[in-house]
Amino acid sequence: MRLDPDRIPPLLGRILIELLGSSWRVDYLRPLSGRSGRVRVGNVLYAFWHGRQLPLIYTHRHEGITVMVSEHRDGQYVTNVLHANGFGTIRGSTTRGGHRAMRRMVRAIRSGLDGAITPDGPRGPARTLKPGTPRIAAMAGRPVVCMSASAWPRVRFDSWDRFILPLPFSRVAVVEGRPLAVGRGRPDRIEAELRRVTGMADLAALPGPRLQAWALSLLARSVSPIASAALAFRPARERGERRGRARPRADGPIWLHGSSLGELKGLLPVVEMLSGKGIPVHVSCSTPAGRSFLEGEGLPASFAPLDVPGWVERFLRRIRPRALVLSETELWPNMLLGSIRFGIPMAMINAKLSSRSLKRYSIIRRLLSTLLSTFVGIMTRTTEDLERFSALGVDPEVLEVGGDTKILRAPPKPPQSWMALADCRRPVLVAGSTREGEEETVVKAASESAVFPLIAPRHIRRANRVLKMLRGVGMRPVPWSSLDPGWPDPGDADSIVVDVHGVLDSLYGIADVAFVGGTLVDIGGHNLMEPLHHGVPVMVGPSVESYADTVSRGKRSGTIVTVEDATSMSSAMNRLLQSPPDRKAVSELVGSESDRILGKLWRLLDIAYIGMETP
């Protein structure tokens, strides 16, 4: 009896898949609600990059899935292996028989079968989405579910798709994404989700990131008794929330996290945008001042759980967020790892990374680069920040310069009673968010230019030191807290030190000129848009990495001036006071920045949340 040659490849393929797969240690990571396909949300169209499909043949064998396979010669071997493992096939690709194959796949999905496709096949370029996947999903009226797999140890072939062959007894990670809702299968959403699940698979399988994640988790668990003891002295609500006992939610909010007041103010425009579109939110913070601020704003909020795996998991099970948006660079490893395990898409806005932080993060570079590459998007404040994230090893496809969302929210106007400070016979200089060493320069320049300085240190705990410094140079300062809040008349004082939270953004409104701190020292600058919103010209030092693009545009219009020391600051103040810039130019700068950031922000949130919405 002669063997039919066409039957040998299926037999060998089935034996290979069964032998290899039975030896693998498979971790299947899926959304909280379980497997997709007919088991949960009805039939779907699975999508996965070429080169990652072999483990998926094992994990989804005999489930009756119909796979699109190219009509090229090697496609016949793939077809034979798939048939032997219980898959159906449709032959065709973008280069041959594409339209016919698409129509057949649409009919198969409409009939109730699950479909599967490699969006970058059959010949690449690798990890570049072809138009067929979103078209098929839209025509069939079913969601796309992105899949990926990784393994270690493995052989990675030098082919166009970098095909991965897990070796026997490998650890294999298979990741299933959330369904991308019908009619929302835009290519950028599908590509972002494919990047996310591929990064998750590598994170779960590769030894470098896994070892670092294990070490950080072990460290967090070991110090949790110390954290619990420290929390014993905190108020009851804070104790509970920091252990992850936030009030349970059932509406699937988008979770936004900012550490302290500055980051939270940058999130408020995002909250307003989402709330205006009917999307529920939950905002978390890390500081008591931030928690009080959120409560005052009337937002559904809590302290973020401390970075202990069990507490993070408790929080996620109670809130059940559909997406996580971080403000600035709040990189808590167990928070990110927990979100990945729960299948929560992550994004970052206002992202910044200094040279100092880049060196510090290099210790866990493998873990962080893999973690951040699972994000659907990271909007950096400046080009320099983007370059540093890229140097950290983050996938360039994830990164985009987006600016700072703090400029989207106009600060409140100062009360009319505060204008008494503006009528003190001298021009008013408001120096906001100053750092140690900057106050001396401000005071010297203010004396040379005969202006009345209001100094708001970045950290309120330094207010007494600033008061002492002013008295040491012969000035008569008063703390803001000692003034009558209804009519803050400084009397015979010649300067004020702001020693309370929450007034700086309004105080800029009484200024004739402003200086924004963190720019004469190597910090990168603080929020210079607050004074610009009031139409006030701004002085900054040379360290403006966080706002480099805005400063460049502001310098061209004359609304922002760079200074280096007390002499140049005094000279700049004199010019700005004698010939102030047109307030229309200041308003146009703010408006153009706002429009640019809004467009990029909504596109990112659209991918992170709406694109992942379960149909």
pLDDT tens string 349-390: 888 888 888 888 888 888 888 889 888 889 887 777 888 999
Q: Considering only 3-12, 46-55, 167-176, 362-371, which range has the smallest mean pLDDT? A: 3-12
Q: Which residue has the higher pLDDT, 455 or 530?
A: 455
Q: Which residue has the higher pLDDT, 32 or 11?
A: 11
> 65-93 pLDDT, tens per residue?
999 988 776 667 788 888 888 899 998 76
The pLDDT value recorded for residue 4 is 47
Burial class (CB in 10 A: 0-12, 13-18, 19+), 108: buried
> 423-451 pLDDT, tens per residue?
667 899 999 999 999 999 999 999 999 99
Residue 468, token pair as written in the block: 């002492």
Q: Considering only 251-260, 404-413, 505-514, which range has the smallest mean pLDDT? A: 404-413
The pLDDT value recorded for residue 613 is 43
Look over the chain and give the mean of its residue pLDDT values, rounded to a whole number.
86
Distance between CA atoms of residues 126 and 53, nearest Å: 13
Is the pLDDT at 420 greater than 60? The verdict is yes
Confidence of residue 605 (pLDDT cuts 50, 70, 90): confident
> 290-326 pLDDT, tens per residue?
999 999 999 999 999 999 999 999 999 999 998 899 9
Residue 177, token pair as written in the block: 């994404």
Distance between CA atoms of residues 229 and 441, nearest Å: 43
From residue 503, alpha-carbon distances to 19, 480, 578, 609 in Å are 68, 10, 27, 34
Residue found by looking up tokens 């099970």 in the block? 317
Is the pLDDT at 194 greater than 50? The verdict is yes
Distance between CA atoms of residues 402 and 550, nearest Å: 11
Q: What is the CA radius of gyration of the chain?
A: 29
What percent of the chain stands above pLDDT 90?
Answer: 40
CB 133 within 8 A of CB 45: yes
Distance between CA atoms of residues 276 and 385, nearest Å: 30
Q: Which residue has the higher pLDDT, 421 or 611?
A: 421
Domains, the chain, ordered by start: 5-205 (no CATH), 209-402 (3.40.50.11720), 416-590 (3.40.50.2000)
> 112-165 pLDDT, tens per residue?
999 999 998 777 788 888 888 888 988 998 889 999 999 999 999 988 888 999
From residue 111, alpha-carbon distances to 21, 108, 140, 523 in Å are 30, 5, 9, 60
Q: Which residue has the higher pLDDT, 238 or 423?
A: 238
3-state SS, residue 154: strand
Q: Which residue has the higher pLDDT, 6 or 226?
A: 226
Residue found by looking up tokens 């991918």 in the block? 607
Closest residue by Cα to residue 122 from 147, 97, 151: 97
Q: Which of 255-269, 441-455, 477-491, 547-561 has the highest mean pLDDT?
A: 441-455
> 544-579 pLDDT, tens per residue?
877 787 888 889 888 899 999 999 999 999 999 999
Is the pLDDT at 595 greater than 90? The verdict is no
Is the pLDDT at 8 greater than 60? The verdict is no
Where helices occur in 33-142 by DSSP H, the ranges are 54-59, 73-84, 98-110, 132-140
3-state SS, residue 542: coil
The pLDDT value recorded for residue 10 is 67
Distance between CA atoms of residues 101 and 119, nearest Å: 14
What percent of the chain stands above pLDDT 70?
Answer: 92
The pLDDT value recorded for residue 3 is 44
The pLDDT value recorded for residue 253 is 92
3-state SS, residue 48: coil
The model's pTM is 0.70
The pLDDT value recorded for residue 573 is 95
Q: Considering only 25-29, 287-291, 471-475, 549-553, which range has the smallest mean pLDDT? A: 549-553
From residue 62, alpha-carbon distances to 5, 86, 589 in Å are 23, 4, 60
The pLDDT value recorded for residue 478 is 94
The pLDDT value recorded for residue 185 is 47
